Structure 1
Amino acid sequence: MDKKEIKRAKKEQKALERAEREQKFRRAKTWELFMYPTFSIGHNGFMFLMTLVSYYAAGIVGLGTVVASYIISGSRIFDGITDPLIALIIDKTKGKYGKIRILFASAYFTMSLATVLLFFTNHLVADGFKLFYFILLYIVFIIGYTLSGIAGNIGNNLLTNDPQQRPVFGGLNMIYSMLFYSGVTLFLTVYLTGKYSFSDVQLFHEMTIFTLIITAIGYGLSSIAIRSKDKIENFGEGKNTERVKFRDLWPMLKGNRPLQLFVVTMATDKLSLQVSGNVVANVMLFGIVIGNYAMLGITQSLATIPNILVLFFGIRYAMKFGSKKGYVLSTWGCLISYGLLFLLLWLGDPTQIRMDNMGFMTLAFITLFTISGAVRFVSSSFVQPMLADVVDYNTYKSNRYAPGLVSAIYTFIDKAVSSLQQTVIGLLLAFIGFRTAFPDVDTPYTEKIFWMTMFLNFGILIISWTLSLIVMKYYELNKERMVEIQEILEERSKGNTDDPDLLAK
C-alpha cells in the first residue's frame, strides 16, 4: 500500500469514527465549538472591570481600604447565595423560547447599568449616602453576574456531551480569556495609566466604556453559536428526568462525591488565583518590586503566542487522555514553574527586569513568566469541561437533569471561598501598615512589601495546587468513566431503563 492509499485509509477511518461519535453523542459543529466560548470575554470583561473597584471605592469614593474590602467580600457571599435561588428558577422553567440567550442578554444589560452608575455617579453622591449607594449598585451587578455565570455553565453542558469535544471548548475558553486579558491589561497599564493615575476618575470612565463595547461582542457571538442547542428538547435527558426542588440541594451535594472533590479543588484554586491576579498584587509585583508597572502588559503580550501553543498541546492531551489527567499534569507544571519564578525573584535582583536591559534576569523572568502563565491557563481550562462532566454524573446518579442547580452548588461554595479574596488582601496589607490606601506604583520598596508580594503572587498558589493534587487522587471521572456514563444516559433517553445495569448504583 503506497502513501496515498495509507493517507486515504486514515482519512476514511477518521470519517467513520466521526460519524460514529455523532450518532453516539450530542456534538457541536466546528464553528459552534469555536464561537460559543466567546461568552468568556463578556463574563471576564465585567469581572476585570470590577477588580478596579477597590481603588475606586477607597481612593475616589473615600470608603477606605478595609471598609471597601469588607463590602466587596460580603457582596461576593451574597453573590453565592443568589446562585442556587436563580438556578432553581431557571431549571424549573421550560425554556420554550430558549434560556441561554435570554440570560446572556439580561446579564449584559444588568451589569452594564450597574457599572455605569457605579463608576460615573458614586463619587458624586452625598457623603452620607455613598456607602449605601455603593452596596446597592454592587448587589445589582452581582445579580447580573450570576445570570451570566449560570447561562455559561448551562450552555457548556448543552453544547456537547462528547468527552472528546469538551476539553476543546474549555481550552478555547481560556485562549479567548487569555487574549482578552492580554489586550485589556495593555490597555490599562500602558494606555490608561499613561494618561491618568488611579486617583483620576477619568481612568474608570474610559475603562467602563471599553468594557461595555468588548463584552457586547462576546455575548453576541456566543448567543449566535448556542442558538441551535438552546431549545426545549435539549433541557433534559429523557422521559425519566424528574423535577428538581430546592430541598434537593443538600442531598445533591451530599450524594455526589465527584462534585464534592471538584468543588474543593476548584474553589481553593479560584481563591488563590484571584488573590494573585488582583490588581493590587500585580501593582506590588511589577510596580514596586520590579519597579516598572508597564512590564506587566508587555510580558503578558509577549506570552500570548506561547500560551496559545501550550494550550493547544493541553487540549490535544486532554482529548486523548481526558480532562482529569490534563488537569493533574498541568497542575504539576504550575507548581514547578511558579516555584522557579519565586526563586528567581528571591535570589536575583528584580530591578534588573526591564526591556532595555536584556540580561539574565529579564530573559529568565520572561521565560518563566511565560511558562508559568501558559500551564496556569491550561490548568484553568479544565474547570468548565469537568463541571459539565459533574452535571452529567449527577443526571446518571439521580436521574435528575439540573445543570443550573449543580453549577450553582459549585459557584455558591466557590464564591463563598473566593469572596475572601479582597478581605485576605485588605487584612494582610493592613497588617504591614496599609490601612487607609492600597500600595501603588509610587509606594517605596521595603522588605515587608517584598515578602508580602511573594506570598500574594506565589505562596498562596503553591499551597492551593498542592491541595488540589491530593484531592484529585480520589476523583473518579476520568475519560473512560465519562464514556460509560454517556452511553448509559443515551440508553435512558431512548427509554431503555429496564436493564438494571443502566441504572446508577
Structure 2
Amino acid sequence: MSTKQNDITYNSAKVWQMILFPLNNTATNTYMYLMFFVSYLAVGGLGLGVAMVGVIVTFSRLFDAITDPIIGYVIDKTKTKIGKFRPMIILGYTIMTAILAFMFLVLPKFSNYYVKFILFIVSYVIYIIGYTFQTACTKSGQTCITNNPKQRPVFTRCDAIYNLSFFAFMAFYTANYLAKKYQGFTTAALSEFFITAAIIAGIFTFLAIVALWKKDVPANWGISNDAKVSLKDYIPILKKNRPLQMLVVAASTDKLSLNSANNSAILVMLFGIVMGNYSLSGQISLITMIPSILIILYGTQIAMKKGSKKALVDFTWYSIILAIIYFAFYIFFDYRSVSFAAINFTT
C-alpha cells in the first residue's frame, strides 16, 4: 500500500501490520526479562560466584555493543528468497531458544564446576548473538513496512503498550506465582520460566513475521540492488553525524536505566528487602499499568504532532524529575508499611 503526501509517495503499512510487527521487540524482551534472572541460575543452579557472574554479565554487555554493528552489516548484505529481515528474525529466535534451553534445562545437570563455568560463558555469548539478530530487525524492519513519518509513532505507541503490559504481567507472574510456587527462584522455577518465555516469544515472533510477510521485498529495503556498502562506509556516519551520535547516547542511556530499574536483583532488594514483601512487585505493576498506558498514549500523541525528538527529550526530563521525587520518598517514608491489606498514606 502506498500513500502520497506533499507530492511524496510513501510506502505505507496497513493498520494490522503496524499493530503486529512491534511484537518482535516484545518477543526479544521476553527473553531479556528471563535473563534478568540468570544470576539466580548461575549462583544457585551452577554454583558460580556472585562476583564472577557480575563480571561475566558486565563483559557480555560490552560484547553486545560490538556485535550490533557487525550483525547490522550482515543484515544489510542479506538477500534471500524469503526476504532480508524474516530469515534474521527466525535465526535470532532459533539461536536464543536453543541456547537458553541448554543453559536452563541441561547445564545445571553437569557436575564439573569448570565445565559449567566455561559453557555458561559460551552460552551467554551465543545468546547475545541470537538476541542481536532478532532485535536488530525491530527498527530496520519498520522502515521496510512503512517509511511514512505519520505512521512511525503508531509503532512506538504499540511497542510501548505491549512492553509495558508485558513487564507488568511478568512481574506478577514471577513474584506472585513462580516465586511462591517454588519458594524462590530455584533451578526448577527457572526451568519453568524458560519454557513459558519460549512459548510467549515464539507466538510474538510468529505474529511479527506475519506482519512483515508481504513487505519484506527488495522494493522496500531502501537500498538499490546495485549499491555496494562496506564497513568503512559506516565510519564517517558515526564520526560526523552529530544528531545520530546524540540519538545513540539518548537511546542507550534510556535503555540502561530501564534495564536497571527492571533488573530482578533491584526488584528483590526494593520489594523483598526494603518493603519486606516481594509479591508487592507484581501487584503494583498491574495497578500502575493503566495510568502508564494513558501516559504512553499522551506521549505518542505529542510525537505525532511535534516530533519524536521533542517527545523523547520532554519525557526523559519528566522521568528524571519523578525519579528524584521517588528517591526523596525513600528517605522520608517507611516503605515497610506499604500494604494492600491495610491501605495507609505511604501505600
TM-score range, shorter chain: over 0.9
Query: Residue 47 of structure 2 is aligned with which of 62, 66, 87?
Result: 62
State the shift of 1:134 in Å: 0.6
State the shift of 1:77 in Å: 2.0
Match of 2:143 in 1: 157
State the shift of 1:155 in Å: 0.6
Q: Percent identity?
A: 36
Q: Within 5 A, what are the aligned runs for 1:215-230?
A: 215-230=201-216
Whether 1:243 and 2:243 are equivalent positions in the alignment is no
- CA distance in 2 between counterparts of 1:134 and 1:150 reads 24
Whether 1:347 and 2:332 are equivalent positions in the alignment is yes
- CA distance in 1 between counterparts of 2:26 and 2:78 reads 27
State the shift of 1:59 in Å: 2.1
Which runs of no fewer than 5 residues in structure 2 stay unpaired? none
Q: Which amino acid aligns with 2:263?
A: N
- CA distance in 2 between counterparts of 1:21 and 1:282 reads 49
CA contact (8 A) 2:22 2:155 kept: yes
SS at match of 1:94: coil
CA contact (8 A) 2:178 2:184 kept: no
- CA distance in 2 between counterparts of 1:49 and 1:289 reads 23
- CA distance in 2 between counterparts of 1:260 and 1:23 reads 28
Match of 1:318 in 2: 303
CA contact (8 A) 1:110 1:141 kept: yes
Q: Which amino acid aligns with 1:335?
A: I
Match of 2:156 in 1: 170
> Normalising by structure 2, what TM-score?
0.94
Match of 1:368 in 2: none
Whether 1:139 and 2:125 are equivalent positions in the alignment is yes
Whether 1:357 and 2:342 are equivalent positions in the alignment is yes
CA contact (8 A) 1:36 1:222 kept: yes
Whether 1:77 and 2:62 are equivalent positions in the alignment is yes
> Larger Cα Rg: Structure 1 or Structure 2?
1
Match of 1:304 in 2: 289
Whether 1:282 and 2:264 are equivalent positions in the alignment is no
Match of 1:195 in 2: 181
Whether 1:50 and 2:14 are equivalent positions in the alignment is no
SS at match of 1:25: strand
- CA distance in 1 between counterparts of 2:7 and 2:183 reads 54
- CA distance in 2 between counterparts of 1:85 and 1:73 reads 20
State the shift of 1:303 in Å: 1.4
> Normalising by structure 1, what TM-score?
0.65
Q: 1:93 to 1:39 in 2, by over 3 A?
A: closer
State the shift of 1:322 in Å: 0.6
* Cα displacement string for residues 466-502 of structure 1 (whole angstroms, at most 9, x for unaligned residues): xxxxxxxxxxxxxxxxxxxxxxxxxxxxxxxxxxxxx
- CA distance in 2 between counterparts of 1:328 and 1:81 reads 27
- CA distance in 1 between counterparts of 2:200 and 2:262 reads 21
- CA distance in 2 between counterparts of 1:248 and 1:185 reads 43
How many residues are treated as equivalent by the alignment? 344
Q: Which amino acid aligns with 1:349?
A: D
Match of 1:93 in 2: 78
Q: Which amino acid aligns with 1:97?
A: I
* Cα displacement string for residues 394-414 of structure 1 (whole angstroms, at most 9, x for unaligned residues): xxxxxxxxxxxxxxxxxxxxx
Which runs of no fewer than 5 residues in structure 1 stay unpaired? 1-17, 363-505
CA contact (8 A) 2:24 2:138 kept: yes
- CA distance in 1 between counterparts of 2:6 and 2:58 reads 45
- CA distance in 2 between counterparts of 1:86 and 1:328 reads 29
Match of 2:13 in 1: 28
- CA distance in 2 between counterparts of 1:208 and 1:89 reads 28
* Cα displacement string for residues 239-291 of structure 1 (whole angstroms, at most 9, x for unaligned residues): 8x732101223222012111111112222222232222211011111111111
CA contact (8 A) 1:43 1:149 kept: yes
State the shift of 1:84 in Å: 2.0
- CA distance in 2 between counterparts of 1:198 and 1:292 reads 13
Match of 1:261 in 2: 246
- CA distance in 1 between counterparts of 2:253 and 2:301 reads 26
CA contact (8 A) 2:22 2:158 kept: yes
SS at match of 2:346: helix
CA contact (8 A) 2:75 2:88 kept: no
Query: Residue 26 of structure 2 is aligned with which of 38, 41, 44?
Result: 41
Q: 1:92 to 1:339 in 2, by over 3 A?
A: same
Match of 2:217 in 1: 231
- CA distance in 2 between counterparts of 1:199 and 1:92 reads 42
Q: Which amino acid aligns with 2:68?
A: D
